[in-house]
Structure 1
């Protein structure tokens, strides 16, 4: 099967029970991109919730609000707001029947404090303590207690002046069909036991994925999708390969092509490996919570053919080489600081020599710490270097995140079309492909990002002055 795109539901699928994305899933998504497979999400959540994930996970696109709002990192592909008359009818209905509702808009969900509370970690813990079958009285009492803490918003009519893409209504599954009889132009889908998502008829996650496919050149038969809830049923049944999570509902498991492990046990990576989309070897290589470290580790895996999984010390000769690399960058830093003024640069490098001699004398004069081994000493010094580097960015007023990514992309661009690094036969330095300077050199991206940060800072400064 020629899979060109993979879509993930969020809650219960891409997210673990602690609302994190498993390290194996992050690595799997990186490998999917290397294998030229597009990656997206299909969720009942809104774009404001998903947007931060676009960069951190490298998503190509997102189908949000169950297909009502679709976008990429660069553009909005499709929106389907609910018409104003229907929204007014829903608000009137909610007031008459005491139904808590929230309105899903581009900037977030507005309205019911009960709905928002239901999405929190606290509510999930409470839900886990409650019996699966609650009496009407128990449910009513629970809702009333929460409403006292999180009351229903009273300005819903004002909110509908802006486009609304989804309505979330507190309702049990057995209540939903009766409620929907009042709104024939809408359909309901569910991802949990306490609320229903109301969207326009004719839209769904699957329809949204189909719209994305027309834009990016794939059809539904070339899609693999992961899900766990009943609002994933149509999606899993309609794509080429529907994967149900081990923690999925019985209905999902019935329609899924394949059932993987649960969301807390590397289910996504295992399924992708099972179908040959990635090469997953469980726990072979540790993954840090520091994403920038993981990117550099991936660079070394590609360039060196392996990574170091057991902590070890640098021996003197190797430590000297690593120090040489750092000194070269420090000298480049001083040259930039001198603004290419050679006499000033010479003075700075002389001061650097003197600083090295002074530091060496200081170290030799100190007593050797009892009990400290070489590994501890090396790690302590390297972390101080890292801390000083971040401190320099702080004092420069520069956010290094996007700049780091530009440099990382440039370094990964040194991989040749055959997927391997090439080394100079004499110097053994990593060679650069012919297209590296035009396609990967980071200087232009760094300059553009710095200009952006300056514009943002100037804008904030201007607003501050205006307020005064």
Structure 2
């Protein structure tokens, strides 16, 4: 085990896979590190608007965005360093004179060039990720010729300067970087791809952002592990205690790194963390589903009771009764909520449910069994899942964020002794005394439902 207190990931080519997702093995590794008290963050050239959803989705501690010029977590902004307005004006003039398109990074997103904004999308990243090497070289050559003829956007300086600008992205090939540095002494130029340059103030970088967070949260650079793949990651990989280059990284990045792991599409992050002893990872011992919700629930069981199953197996009748009892309790809760808390209506709905159970038993007994018992069990469980999704669809509720709210709440059911506790009779997981006050999900669910309602009503009005 190393002395690592904080781990930082670049996004493109590192935390994000070639298809712009998060590898299930990476999700599991982040959960394990957080549980072991290791701080986890991202360090990216992208802006806070792009990073914020990842903070929530992965339950990260913080995000260093715009290459160190804007640092935040899900609730606080720790540091911001806008670019000088005079410098911005000079860069805009240079871009106009040299037919270079620009985008401007603000706290709430990117504005400016449609071409550069497209480069920030998942579609563009996906295309870049699957493009063969020989096609990528062809694309670079074509792009270099195109930008010489590109007609730049005309910017409204007064409107543009109303809000702070933290970073400028310029359509530019690699051979222009030195020219920009000579032209603008107060400028730092870095790259995460061959097609555009990130322009920011001198004195800011991902590494300096990490150092600032260390001063706040109590860790030094020697206690930091960083992952990256591009030119704009080199300083933080070289300056941190443990610099890890992805297998898909640029050769120069690999050369200055302490360790080179597998690619971002081959569990590279989890393998490197396991190499340094921060997490356990054995790709052969525990399968990872393509269904991320399944993986989250599997993590819950791995933490709470250790009862995960790697080979399909049949539930015994006692196990099946217990699982069914858990689901029946939720169905009864569903009926109670649907009754509007009217006691008489609720009592009638429970009586009706008993009748439906009897009717279902008669129906199932009369049907000939098809397939093995394991096949029948699995078919029933998938049908249950299908019906739950159908109910959510008919209620107009998007379950994605709400599932994560409930998962986060469930993962907090650890008692002060560091262990889960179970009811000796039902086997159901118990809740610590402070759980309802600190972790109960109802308020967060309500906020998310309110948000979904506002968005839906605006669409209907349009």
Deviations 1:114-167 (A, max 9, x none): 43455513356568334759998x55434468x5xxx64333634343322111
- For the Cα contact (< 8 Å) 2:180–2:189, is it kept in 1? no
In structure 2, do the counterparts of structure 1 residues 328 and 22 end up closer, same or farther at CA, with 3 Å as the change threshold? closer
Deviations 1:342-388 (A, max 9, x none): 4433322211111112222233344444xx33333322322232233
- 2: CA distance, partners of 1:195 / 1:447: 43
Corresponding position of 1:415: 414
- 2: CA distance, partners of 1:264 / 1:459: 34
1:284 aligns with 2:276: no
Equivalent residue pairs, number: 456
1:450 aligns with 2:446: yes
- 2: CA distance, partners of 1:406 / 1:195: 37
In structure 2, do the counterparts of structure 1 residues 127 and 356 end up closer, same or farther at CA, with 3 Å as the change threshold? closer
In structure 2, do the counterparts of structure 1 residues 436 and 387 end up closer, same or farther at CA, with 3 Å as the change threshold? same
In structure 2, do the counterparts of structure 1 residues 186 and 388 end up closer, same or farther at CA, with 3 Å as the change threshold? same
Deviations 1:281-331 (A, max 9, x none): 223212223333222212222333241111223233432332222222222
- 2: CA distance, partners of 1:57 / 1:410: 14
1:392 aligns with 2:397: no
Shift of 1:191: 1.8
Corresponding position of 1:218: 219
SS of the residue corresponding to residue 224 of structure 1 reads strand
SS of the residue corresponding to residue 181 of structure 1 reads helix
- 2: CA distance, partners of 1:325 / 1:201: 58
In structure 2, do the counterparts of structure 1 residues 126 and 91 end up closer, same or farther at CA, with 3 Å as the change threshold? farther
In structure 2, do the counterparts of structure 1 residues 452 and 424 end up closer, same or farther at CA, with 3 Å as the change threshold? closer
After TM superposition, the structure 1 stretch with the greater mean CA deviation from structure 2, 16-25 or 408-417, is 408-417
In structure 2, do the counterparts of structure 1 residues 351 and 261 end up closer, same or farther at CA, with 3 Å as the change threshold? same
Shift of 1:207: 1.0
Give TM-score scaled by structure 2 length: 0.88
- For the Cα contact (< 8 Å) 1:403–1:446, is it kept in 2? no
- 1: CA distance, partners of 2:7 / 2:156: 36
Structure 1: which 5+ runs fail to align? Answer: none
Deviations 1:25-66 (A, max 9, x none): 111111110111111111111122222211222221111111
- For the Cα contact (< 8 Å) 1:13–1:228, is it kept in 2? yes
Corresponding position of 2:18: 17
Q: Over aligned residues, Cα RMSD in angstroms?
A: 3.0
In structure 2, do the counterparts of structure 1 residues 447 and 58 end up closer, same or farther at CA, with 3 Å as the change threshold? closer
- For the Cα contact (< 8 Å) 1:227–1:248, is it kept in 2? yes
- For the Cα contact (< 8 Å) 1:111–1:156, is it kept in 2? no
1:351 aligns with 2:356: no
Structure of larger gyration radius: 1
Q: How does 1:11-410 map to 2 (within 5 A)?
A: 11-118=12-119, 120=124, 121-122=126-127, 128-130=133-135, 132=137, 140-143=144-147, 152-155=152-155, 157=157, 158-339=159-340, 341-369=342-370, 372-410=371-409
- 1: CA distance, partners of 2:102 / 2:34: 39
Shift of 1:404: 3.6
Shift of 1:190: 1.7
After TM superposition, the structure 1 stretch with the greater mean CA deviation from structure 2, 294-303 or 408-417, is 408-417
- For the Cα contact (< 8 Å) 1:168–1:195, is it kept in 2? yes
Shift of 1:205: 0.5
In structure 2, do the counterparts of structure 1 residues 109 and 458 end up closer, same or farther at CA, with 3 Å as the change threshold? closer
After TM superposition, the structure 1 stretch with the greater mean CA deviation from structure 2, 282-291 or 191-200, is 282-291
Shift of 1:173: 2.6
Give TM-score scaled by structure 1 length: 0.86
- For the Cα contact (< 8 Å) 1:205–1:232, is it kept in 2? yes
Shift of 1:271: 1.4
Shift of 1:224: 1.0
After TM superposition, the structure 1 stretch with the greater mean CA deviation from structure 2, 98-107 or 398-407, is 398-407
- 2: CA distance, partners of 1:124 / 1:429: 45
Structure 2: which 5+ runs fail to align? Answer: none
- 1: CA distance, partners of 2:91 / 2:339: 66
- 2: CA distance, partners of 1:383 / 1:134: 45
In structure 2, do the counterparts of structure 1 residues 184 and 419 end up closer, same or farther at CA, with 3 Å as the change threshold? same
- 2: CA distance, partners of 1:406 / 1:65: 28
Deviations 1:176-234 (A, max 9, x none): 11122221111111222222211001100011111222222222222111111121121
- For the Cα contact (< 8 Å) 2:169–2:199, is it kept in 1? yes
In structure 2, do the counterparts of structure 1 residues 386 and 348 end up closer, same or farther at CA, with 3 Å as the change threshold? same
SS of the residue corresponding to residue 183 of structure 2 reads coil
In structure 2, do the counterparts of structure 1 residues 65 and 430 end up closer, same or farther at CA, with 3 Å as the change threshold? closer
Shift of 1:241: 1.6
After TM superposition, the structure 1 stretch with the greater mean CA deviation from structure 2, 202-211 or 335-344, is 335-344
In structure 2, do the counterparts of structure 1 residues 100 and 127 end up closer, same or farther at CA, with 3 Å as the change threshold? farther
